[in-house]
Every structure is written in C-alpha cells, then in structure tokens.
Amino acid sequence: MTISQLFVLAPNGHTIVHKDYRGDVSKDAPEIFLRKVVDKLDAPIFTVDGVNYVCVRKNGITFLATTVYNVPPAFIIELLTQLTKVCKDYIGVLNEESLRKNFTLVYELVDEILDFGWPQSASTAELQPFIFNKAAEVSASKETVSRTGLSALKAAPKTMSSKAVHKPISMKNEGTGKNEIFVDVIDRISATFDSSGRVRTFAIDGSIQMKSYLTGEPTLHLALNNELVIAGMGQRAGYGMIELDNVNFHECVNVDQFEADRMLTLQPPHGEFVLMNFHIGSMRSESQIPFRISPMLSALSEYKQELRLQIRAEFPDKFHGANVKVVFTVPKSSTGATVELAPGAKQQTWEYDDATKSVTWLIRKFPGGSTQAVSCKFVVKSETNVAKEMGPVSLAFEIPMYNISQLQVQHLKIVERNKSYNPHRWVRCLTHAESYVCRMGAGS
Amino acid sequence: MATTAAPGQPPPPGGVVIEHKKGEVNELKAALRNPALDRDPEKKRDVIKRVIAYMTLGIDVSKLFSEMIMASASKDHVVKKMVYLYITTYATANPELSLLAINTLQKDCRDEDPMTRGLALRSFTSLRLENTKEYLPSVVAAGLKDSSPYVRKTAVIACIKLHRLAPEALVQNDAVNTLYNMLRDRDALVVSNCISALNEILQHEGGMAINKLIIHHLLNRIKEFNEWSQCVVLDMVARYKPETQQETFDIMNLLEERLKHSNSAVVLAATKVFLNLTQDMKAVHAQVYARLKAPMLTLMTGGVFEQGFVCLKHIALLTSRSPAVFAGDFKHFFCRYNDPVCVKVLKLEILTTIASVSNVQEIVEELSEYVTDTDNSVARGSVSAIGSMGVKVPEMAGIVIDALMKFVGYDITDVSAEAVICMQKLLRKYPVHADKILAKMPDFLRTIDEPEAKKALLWMLAEYGHVIPEAPYLFEPLVEGFSEETSQAVRLELLATATKLFFRRPAEMQAMLGTLLDEAISDASFTDVHDRAMLYYRLLHYDVHKAAIILSRGGTVDGPYVEEAPSELADKIFEQFNTLAVIYGEPAERFVTDERALSSVNAAAAKAAAAKAAEIEADVAASTGQASAIIKGAGNVAAIAPFSALLKAELMS
C-alpha cells in the first residue's frame, strides 16, 4: 500500500511538483506515462516494465502515483483524489497557475500526507497544524469554474456567496475568517429515452457536499426529509415517500440517529468534503423526468431531411434550466445542416461543426413548464438510413435550486453553543445532467 | 528525492528563463550570504523559495549547498522545510557536503518543538546516505520513545528507511520487538505505521505475524483509525483465520458498518475481509455477495470516474464468480454516452457475464444501439458481446443471428467483420440456424475483407459446402485471388477450405484443388502455407479415403468454449482481490518485477500454500484417525448444526 513517486503534471505534461519517496522507480516515469496516454490509452491504471502508474485527473491537472508493489488500486485512487481536494482546500482553486504559484505549499502538503510512500494524515483539518505556507490567492478563471459543474450557481441571484467557496480555507487567523458553512445537495441524473419518449434507463447519483469555514469544532445536526426510505432496509415506500436505493457516508458522520429520525450528527472537518452519497437506480415516478425530448424526422425530398426537435421542461415554473445544451449528429454523408430557431426565441444560439457532423443548440435559460422547439434541415445521399445514422440527442443542463430526487436538508443546527455563535449557513441545491440522452432510432 | 522537471523539456510558460541561470544562481548565493537576510524573515523565505523553484525546473542549484545549510538554522518552519527539501534532494549527489547538514539535523532532532523533531527525523532518515549510518540508529531509537505521537509515527516509518539502508543496525536495536510492542500505542496512526513497518521489514517471511490477540485489539479500535489506516488494518484482518464460526460472525458484525463508508478503498478492503472469512461457508459467502451489491453500485457511479473504474473491475470479478447476483441490476451497466471507452468496454464485459434467459433480450436490444458508436473498440465490443450472449443462452441464438445479419447491413467495416466472426462461433454450437446465414453468403464474400472475418467465412463455406448449391462457384474467385492474398492465416484457411469442399463436392472441386495446391507449393512466400499444401497433397496422394476421415471432421462444439470455463487463473486473481491484479486480470507474479515487491508476493503465496497443506494434513489425519477421533468429529457436526439452521432462518426472512 505504498507509492514510490508522486507527480503533479500540468495539462501540457510538464511537471509542477515531483516527490520521490522511495527511490525505486526511474525519474522518467512521467515521460513513459505521457507516451502511453498519447497512445490513446484512457485507463487510469496501467503497468509498464514492473512499474504501476495510477492517475487521477482534475481540471486538466494530472495527479500521478507510481509504485512497484501490488497495491490496492482503490486505495491509491482515493488517496490521489483526496490530494486534489486538500490542494483545492489550501489553495482555493485548482489549476496550473494556482499550483505553480503555490508549489512550496504543495510540497509541504505532499511531504506531510505521505512518509516513505505510506499515507499519514490526509484530511485538511488534521494537516493544519503542520502546514505553514500561506496560499497565494489566484482568481478562478472562467475555464475552471465552468468545469466544476456548479457554474449555474454563479448566475443565480440567491447564491451570492458562491464565490466564497473558491477561497482558501483560513487557517491561523481564526478570529478574522468568516464563520460560515456551505451545504450543496446535488442530483446527477443519467437517463436514456427512446424516440417515443419511453424511459430505457434512469438513475440518480446524488451527494450532499459540504464546505466548512466554521471556527472551532462545533457539532452539527443535519436533518433530512422525514419521508425518506432506504430500499433494502426493510421499509416500504408509500405514497409521498422518497425512496433511495443506497447511501454511504463520510467518516465524520455519526449515523446512530439516522434510522429513527433521519438525523445526521457530525463534526465537519475544515474544507470541502462529501458528506453523503446516495443512489437511486430506477425511476420512481414520472415527475422525476425534468425534460421530455420528442424528435420527429421527416423526409422533405429524396435528399433533404428535416428533424423537428421539441423539448419540454416538466418541472415547476419557478425554476429554470440553465445553459441547456442540446447536441446531436447528422448522418456522415450529409454536407451541412441549418437550424431554424423558433420565432421570438430568446438567448438561444446554434452552431454546426462539419468535422464531427454535430449540431449544437444552446438555450441559456429554459423556464420550467415551457416548451422549446427547433427545426434542423440537412441534405444526405439517397438510400441513407437516416434514422439509424442520426446520432442520439444528448442534453447537458443544470437546474439550480431544484432537486428531482426531492431529497432536502430540513435543517442544519449547531449543537450546544451560545447565542452569539451563529455562523452563516448556506444550503443550496442543484440538478445536473450526467448523461441525458434520447435515441433517434425507431424505438427498437 | 524531490527534483526536476524531466530533462529535455522546455521550461513551462511563465516560468523562469533558464539562459540567465548562471547569473541568477550567483545572485542567489550573494543574497543568501547577505547578513541582512536574517533580520527580514519574509525576504529570506522569498530567496529560498526561488532556490526551490529553480530546483523543480531542473536547474542545478547544488552549488548553494553550504549556504542553504546555514539557512537551516532558522526558527521559521517554512524556511526549515524548504531547506530540508533541498538537502534531501541534493544529498545523494553531494555526500561530502551533506556531512555539514548532519550536525544541524542531529540538533533539530533534539529540539523542544515536536514538529521540528519530527521534521528533522523524517528528513534525516530520507537522505539515503552511507555516511549517515552511524548516526541514525540512536536518533531513530530516541524517536520511538518520544513523548509526541507525531515524532513516534515518524520514527516508526524511519525504521523502514533504516532497514533499507542498514538492516543490521535495525537488528541491533531490536527494533522489530519494539515495533510489536508499539502496536499498543495510544495513537492510532503510530499503530498503523507499526503494521506497515513490520510488514515491510518482515517481508521475506510474509509480513507481520498475527494472532487472535493482535487482531482483536486492532478491530476493537477500528473507529479510531483514519480511513487510510483502516485500510492497513483491514488488510491484516483479511489474512486472519478465526478459530470459531462465532468469531467469524463477530468480526463481520463489527465490520458491517465499514461497507457504508464513502471511501471505496475502505469498502473494498472490508469486502476482502468478508470474502476471505466466509470462504468455507457457502451459504454465508453467497449472502456476502448480496450485501455487497448496493454499496458497490453506489460507489461505481458516485465518485470520480477513476474510482468507478476500479469498482467496475471488482464487480466484473465478482460477477464472473457469481453471475446471478448482479443479473437483476443489468441496467446499471448500460453505457452512458459520456463514459470513457475503458469504462464502456468493461461494462460490455460485465453485461455478457450476467446475461441470462431473464434479461438477455433487453441487453441485446440495448447493445444493438452501441454498434454505431464512434469508437471502434466499443462498436466491435458490442457486436462481440452480443455474439457471446447468443452462444451462452441457446434460446437467444436465433435472435442474435438476426441482429448480426442486420449489423453487417450497416456497412461499417469493423462491425461487419466482427459480426461474421460471431456468426461462425454461433454456428459451431447451433448448426440449426445455418440457413439464414448461408443465404447471405454470396454478399458476405463480396464485401468482407478483414483476415479474421474472411477465415470465418471460409470455414462456413467449407462446413456447409454440401448445402450451399453454388459453393464451388463462390469459392472460385477466392482461389484466383490466392496469389494476391497477403495474410498467411487466410491462405491456410483457403487450403483447408478447398480440401474440405473437395470431399463434399469432388466433381466440381477437383480441378480447383489441383490448381490451388500447385500454386501454394510453388509459392515460397510463406513456409507454413507451402508445408501445409505439401501435407495435404501427400495425404491425398497416399489414400484419399483416409485423408477424408482426417481432414473433414465436423467443427461443431457441444460443451462450453474454453474461454467460458472457469480457470485456475481466475481463482488466483480472486485470491488477490483488492489489488492491481484485478485491474490487469493477471496475478501479481506476472507484472511485479521489483525484487522486494516480488519477495513479498512470493512469501505471501508460500504462506497460503503452507496453510493449505496444513489443512489437508489435518484432514488426512482426521480421516485416518482412531474411532474416538471420529466420534469427536461427529460431536462437532452436531454442534454446528443449530448454527446453520439459524443461518437458514436468516436467509428465509
């Protein structure tokens, strides 16, 4: 369970930080690694000449570990993932610039987290007494923010302090740091539909994420919906109940009161962590479908085809989908495509990329309850099986302040503190499309 | 030690320009010597930070060694850490100069601040220098007795480093015993480091020795350990064999909660314990699989993709042992359009394994959608998976063949080729479906060009030569193309096909076979082809009837294909659950080359083998024992009976 070297590599492959713990692997490990990656190898773990390479990528940065031992792979992956989180906690943003500016801090971190390749303490809080470098702050560039999957929150007016999560955790100056805590309930939805709208696959992978800047070490009570049922725990979901298939928790959580009161007790560590993951493996009710997609394909002539695409937002009208991006591909033989937006369509754009034959339709703001439609015309060779060759319609979207899982944080209490201790508590929610696809084929 | 961007790489954009390095290094030297620096801690940090920055870029700043050692006298932790980083990096290149650092390091190991002591100890033992040998044993010994847990846990790891540098010094210190005693340390991290250290130091004998006392002591404290240490502890528990079934159940009850952990490393480590403990209890073992299902599915999609990938690999292994467990959850393994290719391919593999009569139709329907995937390996993989499912589930063979015929119509080179290869596999098992495929034979022969697929087509042509009326005429153009064929495999198959067809349609084939053999024998571009042609020729010449018996044996298969049958290899990989062996699908012996790492693999294997041998011996002893022994055995059975009844009751509920 020990690693030989650790590398932090920039998007272009250059080494930002390199720590050799055991001296049993050659120094050109990154070159061998990069050569493999260029060979289109997308597996995160592989072996070359007795050296095992394990990597985790985040915001274009590669965290790479090498080892000569037959280690548990999950152990190394989790450790590297934890390292990305700790770096983000201490630096504020994770990108090449911030890592380069703070490389001595990163050295300090990797030196404390591992000793001779053996993991020691790796939680942000436990590390605090041993870290002395101060973070040089870097502003989050547009690029990195949009990749976090929380970009929609930036636009929403109710979430004004969202920028605060990009600041490094305050360490020594506890008195002056802002006393606040962020809780995000995030639903990631994956669904596949056939062209008649029938659900083929459906799953929600959700998590409750926390980022704590609280002073002291308060104990928190976090209550979830009372109507919550975990399948397989002997309970049945009745009307109005919310059924989850499985949950797991961060190690700081005490779940003794969860069974009875749906109450979690925890002492949040400083920094960002995932409090709880939950998984819903199948659709429980029609209301869980946020967008309905209806494609209609018709031949205008032997060569000319038209796709009419209609999308309806099924969620309540006080919410909206943000940055809804619709992508589909036209048959290989087509030479171009034109899109006609609906008259009066606001904040909508489209583009066609001939290299990939893909059409992208972007709707900045998609109000709940509304229907948006578009018509796309393209020319194909005769005898093309258009329905078969059309790529599926995929949707990427975020719905701020809305959870299709209905999982809610009912309250977040701080236990046994005097009245003056009243930190800001920000509870936000978000639904995010992980993979949302409607197939074009005739619905086999 | 920490160094350098790889040589030969240009400096990163925005980085320091190397051309001026010589001047810069001299400038830094001057700056470090400036006495004013000691009065301005901020500036001192800056200067030293610049040194480290150069070091990371691969610029040689070893000339500053003596100045940096001077700077280490600072009380500033930031400066101290950077200086030690510098020293550990350049020590091996400057063993002489490093002696200068030893004094400071020794002094810091006795500092009143435990953080300084720990840091100095860690750096001191990381120098990997011959000439530190004489100083280290006493420093490490003192560290092990330190009042601060931070220093103690550093000293424990230092034992491993000392073991690498000077094994004999460790023996003199009696460190191994000390480490065993420290398993009772108050601090959990010290304890888990002791386990790691003992495992490495005693590698050649299969790692730390365990007994009931140690394991129970560790298990009772499991919640005190951080997540990484928990994995270390669970790894030890997985090696342990409880004395009674009751003990087994106690351990499992205690660890049940670990399966709810959000860290996949902890869940998989606990899983291994469960699987190992229940190895000899079939019913419970099966139950363990069922319990694992929900946590594994959550981890598979819950975290970063890398974590999901590892979970999927382990699920794939579990399903190969017990396909039924995940059979009902097959939809979880349908691909998402944005899954990386390696994940998609893995999901296809799992789906093939768990396919059964109840779910196969839906799986085939879904996989048919992936056939047009833009990635070749996914498209081909889907076709091949569909084919394998047809082979596996006899009821599906007809439907699968229809689907395969459809895929050939998509006119995607790789997809068509793979579909044809699958058809051959299906026909070998279910010849009843031949008609549909044979009707399309002329089309296939015209369009398919890939060697493997062509071979499959030729095989079918030969095998069914008697029912395809136009077989010899279909074959004719292929014979004409023999000399242009560049694949040896196809050429060989052409020879075999010609001979087989000859026995089935002698009148139409005789001339063609003659020409082909003639051509093959006179063409020396492939020796194997030449030899094979000679063999056929002589065989036919010697005795046509005997040749017919030898060369036209049927190619149908009754049992499972070799690939489907359980193998020893799979068992071996299962023994190495939660290691890289699962990822690569190969046992550790095949990819571990490092001497030390290999010795631990071998020692562990030897230990397992010894345990097994002891078990067999005990069995033999028991079976050949006296009557009294047999009665004692009967007593045991009686004692276990109510327990299994209890289990049954649990299973029913």
Q: What is the pLDDT of residue A70?
A: 92
Asked if residue A154 has pLDDT above 50, the reply is: no
- Contact at 8 Å (CB) between B258 and B219? no
Q: What is the pLDDT of residues B545-578, one digit of tens each?
A: 888 888 777 666 666 666 666 678 888 888 899 9
- Chain B residue with minimal CA distance to A11? B12
The length of chain A is 444
Q: How far apart are the first and last CA of chain B?
A: 58
The residues near B411 (Cβ < 8 Å, ≥ 6 apart) are B447
Ramachandran category for residue A244: left, alpha or beta (phi over 0 → left; psi -120 to 50 → alpha): beta
CA distances from B341 to A58, A318, B303, B370 (A): 18, 39, 18, 12
Q: What is the CATH number of the domain that holds A111?
A: 3.30.450.60
- Residue of A394 and B8 predicted with greater confidence: A394
Q: Which tokens go with A260?
A: 């009875």
Task: Choose the final residue of a domain: A101, A130, A159.
Answer: A130
Tell me the C-alpha distance between A174 and B295, whole Å: 38
Q: How many CB atoms lie within 10 A of CB A228?
A: 19
Examine the domain organization and report whether A189 and A279 are in the same domain. Answer: yes
Mean of the per-residue pLDDT values of chain B: 83
- Residue of B603 and B161 predicted with greater confidence: B161
CA distance A70 to chain B (A): 6
Asked if residue B313 has pLDDT above 90, the reply is: yes
**B302 vs A17, A72, A205: nearest CB:** A205
Note whether residue A168 is domain-resident: yes
Examine the domain organization and report whether A332 and A267 are in the same domain. Answer: no
Note whether residue A175 is domain-resident: yes
**In the predicted model, what is the mean pLDDT of residues A33-53?**
86
Q: How many CB atoms lie within 10 A of CB B557?
A: 14
Note whether residue A143 is domain-resident: no
Q: What is the pLDDT of residues A93-123, one digit of tens each?
A: 899 989 988 988 999 999 999 999 999 988 8
Q: What is the pLDDT of residue B158?
A: 94
Picking from B651, B535, B578, the residue whose alpha carbon sits closest to that of residue B239 is B578
Tally the C-alpha atoms within 13 A of residue B476's C-alpha that lie toward its C-beta: 9
Asked if residue A145 has pLDDT above 50, the reply is: no
Query: 445-504 in B: which are within 8 Å (CB) of A?
Result: none
CB-CB under 8 Å, A255 with B157? no
Q: What is the pLDDT of residue B650?
A: 43
Examine the domain organization and report whether A89 and A162 are in the same domain. Answer: no
CA distances from B549 to B461, B510, B512, B545, B546 (A): 19, 18, 21, 7, 5
Examine the domain organization and report whether A263 and A370 are in the same domain. Answer: no
CB-CB under 8 Å, B295 with A246? yes
β pairing state of A409-414 and A358-367: unpaired
Tell me the C-alpha distance between A234 and B186, whole Å: 39
Mean of the per-residue pLDDT values of chain A: 83
The residues near B430 (Cβ < 8 Å, ≥ 6 apart) are B394, B397
Q: What is the CATH number of the domain that holds A311?
A: 2.60.40.1170
- Chain B residue with minimal CA distance to A332? B374
Note whether residue A139 is domain-resident: no
Picking from A129, A205, A92, A184, the residue whose alpha carbon sits closest to that of residue A436 is A205
Please indicate if any CB of chain A lies within 8 Å of the CB of B398: no
Tell me the C-alpha distance between B464 and B129, whole Å: 74
**In the predicted model, what is the mean pLDDT of residues A301-306?**
87
Residue with tokens 């920028």, as numbered in its chain: A163
Q: Which of A172-176, B475-479, B628-632 has the lowest mean pLDDT?
A: B628-632
Q: pLDDT band at residue B651, thresholds of 50, 70 and 90?
A: very low
Examine the domain organization and report whether A14 and A99 are in the same domain. Answer: yes
Q: Residue A377's domain spans which residues?
A: 290-401
Q: What is the pLDDT of residue A172?
A: 42
The residues near A73 (Cβ < 8 Å, ≥ 6 apart) are A45, A54, B310, B313, B578, B579, B580, B582, B583
- Contact at 8 Å (CB) between B166 and B184? no
Examine the domain organization and report whether A154 and A280 are in the same domain. Answer: yes
Q: What is the pLDDT of residue B623?
A: 53
Backbone phi, psi, residue A179, to 5°: -95, 95
Q: Specify the number of domains making up chain A.
A: 3
Q: What is the pLDDT of residue A78?
A: 95
Tell me the C-alpha distance between B1 and B84, whole Å: 11
**A441 vs B231, B369, B597: nearest CB:** B369
Asked if residue B305 has pLDDT above 80, the reply is: yes
Note whether residue A220 is domain-resident: yes
Backbone phi, psi, residue A388, to 5°: -80, -35
Which residues on A lie below 8 Å from B295 (Cβ)? 246, 248
Asked if residue B467 has pLDDT above 90, the reply is: no
Residue with tokens 């994940």, as numbered in its chain: B343
Run of H or E residues at B230: helix B227-239
**A74 vs B12, B56, B265: nearest CB:** B265
Which one of B187, B337, B406 makes the best mutation probe of the A interface by having the most chain A beta carbons within 10 Å?
Answer: B337
Q: What is the pLDDT of residue B629?
A: 33
Examine the domain organization and report whether A75 and A206 are in the same domain. Answer: no
Q: Distance of alpha carbon A353 from its chain centroid, rounded? A: 26
Picking from A234, A230, A227, A244, the residue whose alpha carbon sits closest to that of residue A282 is A244
Picking from A74, A79, A142, A149, the residue whose alpha carbon sits closest to that of residue A322 is A149
Q: What is the pLDDT of residue A408?
A: 87
Taking every pair of Cα atoms in chain B, the longest distance, rounded to a whole number of angstroms, is 106
Note whether residue A140 is domain-resident: no
Tell me the C-alpha distance between B26 and B23, whole Å: 5
Examine the domain organization and report whether A269 and A322 are in the same domain. Answer: no
Examine the domain organization and report whether A23 and A63 are in the same domain. Answer: yes
Picking from B372, B391, B392, B390, the residue whose alpha carbon sits closest to that of residue B382 is B372
Tell me the C-alpha distance between B417 and B454, whole Å: 8
DSSP code at position A300: S
Picking from A9, A322, A321, A11, the residue whose alpha carbon sits closest to that of residue A141 is A11
CA distance B641 to chain A (A): 28
Q: What is the pLDDT of residues A376-427, one digit of tens each?
A: 999 888 777 777 778 889 999 999 999 998 888 888 888 866 767 778 888 8
DSSP string, B157-182: HHHHHHHHH-HHHHHHHTHHHHHHHH
Examine the domain organization and report whether A257 and A309 are in the same domain. Answer: no
Q: What is the pLDDT of residue A312?
A: 93
Note whether residue A362 is domain-resident: yes
Q: What is the pLDDT of residues B226-267, one digit of tens each?
A: 999 999 999 999 999 999 989 999 999 999 889 889 899 999
- Contact at 8 Å (CB) between A162 and A154? yes
Examine the domain organization and report whether A264 and A412 are in the same domain. Answer: yes
Examine the domain organization and report whether A189 and A224 are in the same domain. Answer: yes
Q: Which tokens go with B646?
A: 């209890």
Which residues on A lie below 8 Å from B597 (Cβ)? 68-70
Asked if residue B9 has pLDDT above 80, the reply is: no
- Count residue pairs from A and B with Cβ separation < 8 A: 262
Residue with tokens 């299962």, as numbered in its chain: B574
CB-CB under 8 Å, A45 with B309? yes
Run of H or E residues at B264: helix B264-277
Give the helix ranges, DSSP H, for B63-135: 65-71, 77-90, 95-108, 114-125
Which residues on A lie below 8 Å from B226 (Cβ)? 121-123, 126, 251
Asked if residue A176 has pLDDT above 70, the reply is: no
Which one of B263, B363, B575 makes the best mutation probe of the A interface by having the most chain A beta carbons within 10 Å?
Answer: B263
Note whether residue A18 is domain-resident: yes
Q: What is the pLDDT of residues B400-410, one digit of tens each?
A: 999 999 998 88
- Contact at 8 Å (CB) between B588 and B579? yes
Asked if residue A151 has pLDDT above 50, the reply is: no
